[in-house]
C-alpha cells in the first residue's frame, strides 16, 4: 500500500453514515468514545473538568476534529507514532483521540521521565511527532535532539524554537478545517501503545488494538465499576499509565460521564481538594497512595461525595483496607490489571468485597493458576496466574523473545503468584520473582506485610528477600509508621513471631519515611533488596 493509498480521506462520503461503518465491520476507538456520545445527545454534557477548564462533549469533538486535521497537515500518517509527553489535561485527551481518529498511533509516556529516558522511547517507537505540555518543554527539547527520526514538536501555546520544527497546537487547531471523517480502522487495527515501566529491564511498548477500548469499557467499566453518566472520576494514577488511562479517559467518555483531570503530580491533599471542588464520585488510586492519604491526616469527610474507590497496581492489604474504609467511609474495590491487558481483569465487586483478596474474574476474562510446568493447580495451591481476554495487547514492539515469554497463545503470563479458594476468590502472594525461601519453605512477602500492618503503629510495610552472610534467603521489612506512633524493631519482630511461624518473621526491620517507586507508583523492590542485604550483613 502506497502512502497515497493510506492517506486520510477527507471526504465524508467515503465512509458514509455510522451505520455503514458498523455494517462494514469498521471500528474506531475515538469514534466510540466521542462521536457516539454526541450522536446519543450528550453534546452539552460535561466531558472534562479540572484546573484545565470545562469542556463539553460537543466542544471536545470539535477540538478533536480540528486536531486531527492539524496532524494530517503535519504529515502524520496512519500507523505512524506520536509520543505524548503531557500532563493530564484537555490537550492530552484531544491529541490522544485525534491521533486514533486518523489511524495514527498515540503513545502516552511517563511525565516523570528525564530527557535520556524520553529520548530512548522516541527512538524505540520511531515517533514522527512529539506532543508536549508547556511545563515539559525543556526536557522534551533535550530528548528531541537525540531522536533522529522525529519531524516535529507540538506545544499548546507559543514556545521557543527547538531542535526540530515546533508548532503551536492551539494555533493550528484554530486555523484548521475540522475533519468529519474517521479513518477506516477495524477492531484489530493498531490504536495506541503503552510502555511498561521497565523495572526489570528496558521499557517495552505494549501494542493495543482499537477493539480493546470497547472491551475494557464494557467489562470492568460497566459490569464491575458500574460507571454511569452522572459520575465524575478522579484518578491519582496519571493517564500515561494503563490504569489511569481507563480511569480518566476511557471509562468516563464511554458512558457520557465527566473526567476530572489534575495536571499536577498527585498528592493526598491536592486530590482530596480536587475531589471536593469538582464533585468526584469515583476515586482511583493504588495502595501506596491510599496509605499516604491516611498518613496525611485528612478529615473523615474529605471524600464525602465519593461513592466508590478502586485500587490496582499492587495488592491492597486487608489492614489498610479496614483503616481506609473506617476513616473515610468509602469502599474500595481492589483489583489487578496489567499494561499488557490494558486494564483490570480480576477484581472485588461492590457489596461483595473480601478484604485481602483481589476478588474474582471480571466478566469476559478467564484465569488459571499454574505450576512451573504450566499445569493447572487445584484450589488452595499457589502458582503463577495466567489470564485470557479480548483486551490483550498484540505483543511488544520489536521484542520478539519477551513477547513469546509473556504472550503464550491465548494466555498471558502475569508474573504474579496467586492462590484461588473454593469460591473463586483469588489472593495475591506477590510477584513470582518476589517469593522467597526461608528455612527451605516458600514465604510470601504479602503474608508478612499483612502481619506487620496488623500493628497499630504500622502505616505501610514492604518485605523483600535478602541473602544473609551464609548465602541463605531471609525476610527483611521496610516499615513506615503512622503519625504520632512509635515502636521499636525488636517489638515489631516479636509481634510477628507471635503470629507467624518463626521462619517467616522478618530478620530485620528498617524504619523509612518513603519507598522508591516506579513512574506508575509501584514499589521498586529491587532497590530495597540491596538495602536489605546490607542490613543483614550488619547483624552477622
Tens-digit pLDDT profile for residues 318-354: 988 999 999 999 999 999 999 999 999 999 999 999 9
The HSE-up count of residue 444 (CA atoms within 13 Å, CB side) is 19
What is the predicted pLDDT for the residue at 21? 53
pLDDT at 23 over 70: no
Residue range 355-383: average pLDDT?
95
* Cα 436 → chain centroid: 27
Q: What is the average pLDDT across 20-31?
A: 78
In this chain, the answer to whether the domains covering 3-185 and 435-539 adopt an identical fold is no
Per-domain residue ranges for the chain?
Answer: 3-185, 207-431, 435-539
Residue entry with cell 515469554 = 405
Give yes or no for a contact between 282 and 305, defined as CB atoms under 8 angstroms apart. Answer: no
Mean pLDDT to the nearest integer, 19-40: 85
Distance of alpha carbon 427 from the chain centroid: 20
Q: What pLDDT does residue 278 have?
A: 98
Average pLDDT over residues 101-127: 95
Mean pLDDT of the chain: 90
Element (H, E) at 368: strand 366-370
Q: Among residues 201, 109, 205, 117, which one has the least CA distance to residue 433?
A: 201
Residue 458's φ and ψ, nearest 5 degrees, are: -90, 125
Residues 472-499 have a mean pLDDT of: 91
Residue range 165-185, pLDDT digits in tens:
999 999 999 999 999 999 999
pLDDT at residue 213 greater than cutoff 70: yes
CATH of 435-539 given 3.30.413.10, 3.40.50.460, 3.30.200.20, 3.30.300.30? 3.30.300.30
Q: Which CATH number fits domain 207-431: 1.20.1370.20, 3.40.630.10, 3.40.50.12780, 3.90.870.10?
A: 3.40.50.12780
Using DSSP's 3-state secondary structure scheme, residue 91 falls into helix
**Can you read off the three cell numbers belonging to residue 355?**
478484604
Chain mean position to CA 78: 25
Q: What is the percentage of the chain residues whose pLDDT exceeds 90?
A: 75
CATH code given to domain 3-185: 3.40.50.980
In a 3-state reduction of DSSP, which class is residue 314? coil
Sequence-ordered alpha helix ranges (H) in 148-305:
169-175, 210-216, 242-245, 251-255, 268-278, 287-295
Angstrom distance (rounded) from CA 174 to CA 184: 25
Its sign, for the CA torsion 293, 299, 302, 303, is: positive
| Rounded distance between C-alpha atoms, residue 1 and residue 40, angstroms | 36
- Quickly state the pLDDT bin for 400 (edges 50, 70, 90): very high
3-state helix, strand, coil split of the chain in percent (to 5) is: 35, 25, 40
| Predicted pLDDT at 40 | 97
**Strand-strand pairing, 458-467 and 166-168:** unpaired
Tell me which residue of 191, 255, 332 sits closest to 57, measured CA to CA: 255
Task: Give the pLDDT band of residue 24 (cuts 50, 70, 90).
Answer: low
Whether residue 476 contacts residue 536, with contact meaning beta carbons closer than 8 Å, is answered with yes
The answer to whether 257 and 281 are in contact (CB under 8 A) is no
Pairing of strands 308-311, 282-285: parallel
HSE (side-chain half, CA atoms, 13 Å) at 288: 19
Write the burial class of residue 457 (CB in 10 Å: 0-12 exposed, 13-18 middle, 19+ buried).
middle
Higher-pLDDT residue of 249 and 14 is 249
Of the ranges 46-50, 191-195, 411-415, which one carries the lowest mean pLDDT score?
A: 411-415
pLDDT at 161 over 80: yes
What average pLDDT score do residues 460-471 get? 81
The three grid cell numbers given for residue 26, joined into one nine-digit string: 469498521
Residue 121: which H helix or E strand, with range?
helix 115-125
Residue in 338, 249, 261 with CA at minimum distance from that of residue 30: 249
3-state secondary structure 474-527: EEEEEEEECCCCCCCHHHHHHHHHCCCCHHHCCCEEEECCCCCECCCCCECHHH
| Per-residue pLDDT, 434 | 72
Reported pTM: 0.82
Coil, helix or strand at residue 47:
strand
Per DSSP, what are the bridge partners of residue 386?
368, 413
DSSP state of 46: E
- In terms of Cβ atoms closer than 10 Å to its own Cβ (0-12, 13-18, 19+), residue 64 is buried
Q: Please state which of the ranges 64-78, 332-346, 415-429, 441-455 shows the lowest mean pLDDT.
A: 441-455
Distances (CA, A) of 171 to 135, 174, 214, 238: 18, 5, 32, 26
Amino acid at each position: 500500500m502506497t502512502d497515497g493509498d493510506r492517506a486520510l480521506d477527507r471526504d465524508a462520503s467515503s465512509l458514509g453514515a455510522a451505520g455503514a461503518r458498523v455494517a462494514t465491520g469498521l471500528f474506531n476507538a475515538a469514534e466510540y468514545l466521542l462521536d457516539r456520545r454526541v450522536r446519543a445527545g450528550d453534546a452539552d454534557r460535561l466531558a472534562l473538568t479540572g484546573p484545565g477548564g470545562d469542556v463539553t462533549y460537543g466542544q471536545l469533538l470539535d477540538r478533536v476534529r480540528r486536531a486531527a486535521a492539524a496532524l494530517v497537515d503535519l504529515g502524520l500518517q496512519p500507523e505512524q507514532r506520536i509520543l505524548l509527553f503531557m500532563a493530564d489535561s484537555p490537550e492530552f485527551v484531544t491529541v490522544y483521540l485525534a491521533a486514533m481518529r486518523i489511524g495514527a498511533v498515540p503513545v502516552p509516556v511517563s511525565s516523570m521521565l528525564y530527557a535520556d529516558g524520553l529520548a530512548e522511547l522516541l527512538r524505540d517507537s520511531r515517533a514522527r511527532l512529539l506532543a508536549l505540555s508547556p511545563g515539559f518543554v525543556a526536557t522534551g527539547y533535550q530528548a528531541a535532539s537525540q531522536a533522529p527520526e522525529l519531524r516535529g514538536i507540538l506545544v499548546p501555546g507559543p514556545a521557543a524554537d527547538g531542535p526540530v520544527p515546533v508548532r503551536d497546537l492551539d494555533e493550528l487547531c484554530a486555523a484548521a478545517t475540522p475533519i468529519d471523517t474517521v479513518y477506516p480502522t477495524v477492531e484489530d487495527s493498531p490504536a495506541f501503545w503503552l510502555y511498561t515501566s521497565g523495572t526489570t529491564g528496558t521499557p517495552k511498548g505494549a501494542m493495543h488494538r482499537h477493539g480493546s477500548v470497547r472491551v475494557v469499557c464494557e467489562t470492568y467499566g460497566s459490569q464491575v465499576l458500574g460507571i454511569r453518566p452522572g459520575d465524575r472520576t478522579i484518578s491519582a494514577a496519571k493517564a500515561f499509565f494503563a490504569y489511569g488511562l481507563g480511569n480518566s479517559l476511557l471509562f468516563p467518555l464511554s458512558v457520557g460521564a465527566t473526567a476530572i483531570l489534575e495536571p499536577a503530580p498527585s498528592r493526598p491533599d491536592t486530590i482530596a481538594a480536587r475531589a471536593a471542588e469538582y464533585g468526584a464520585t469515583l476515586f482511583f488510586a493504588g495502595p501506596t497512595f491510599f496509605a499516604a492519604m491516611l498518613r496525611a491526616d485528612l478529615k473523615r469527610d474529605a471524600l464525602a461525595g465519593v461513592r466508590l474507590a478502586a485500587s490496582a497496581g499492587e495488592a491492597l492489604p486487608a489492614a489498610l483496607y479496614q483503616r481506609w474504609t473506617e476513616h473515610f467511609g468509602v469502599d474500595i474495590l481492589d483489583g489487578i490489571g496489567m499494561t499488557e491487558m490494558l486494564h483490570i481483569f480480576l477484581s472485588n465487586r461492590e457489596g461483595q468485597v473480601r478484604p485481602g483478596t483481589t476478588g474474582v474474574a471480571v466478566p469476559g476474562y478467564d484465569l488459571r493458576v499454574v505450576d512451573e510446568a504450566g499445569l493447572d493447580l487445584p484450589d488452595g495451591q499457589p502458582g503463577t496466574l495466567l489470564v485470557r481476554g479480548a483486551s490483550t495487547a498484540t505483543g511488544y514492539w520489536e521484542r520478539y523473545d519477551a513477547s513469546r515469554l509473556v504472550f503464550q497463545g491465548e494466555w498471558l503470563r502475569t508474573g504474579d503468584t496467586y492462590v484461588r479458594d473454593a469460591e473463586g476468590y483469588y489472593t495475591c502472594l506477590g510477584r513470582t520473582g518476589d517469593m522467597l525461601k526461608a528455612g527451605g519453605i516458600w514465604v510470601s512477602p504479602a503474608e508478612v506485610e499483612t502481619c506487620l500492618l496488623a500493628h497499630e503503629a504500622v502505616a505501610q510495610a514492604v518485605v523483600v528477600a535478602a541473602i544473609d552472610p551464609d548465602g541463605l534467603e531471609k525476610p527483611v521489612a521496610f516499615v513506615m509508621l503512622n503519625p504520632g506512633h512509635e515502636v521499636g524493631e525488636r517489638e515489631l519482630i516479636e509481634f510477628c513471631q507471635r503470629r507467624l511461624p518463626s521462619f517467616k518473621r522478618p530478620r530485620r526491620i528498617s524504619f523509612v519515611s518513603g519507598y522508591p517507586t516506579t513512574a506508575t507508583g509501584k514499589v521498586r523492590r529491587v532497590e530495597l533488596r540491596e538495602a536489605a542485604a546490607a542490613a543483614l550483613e550488619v547483624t552477622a
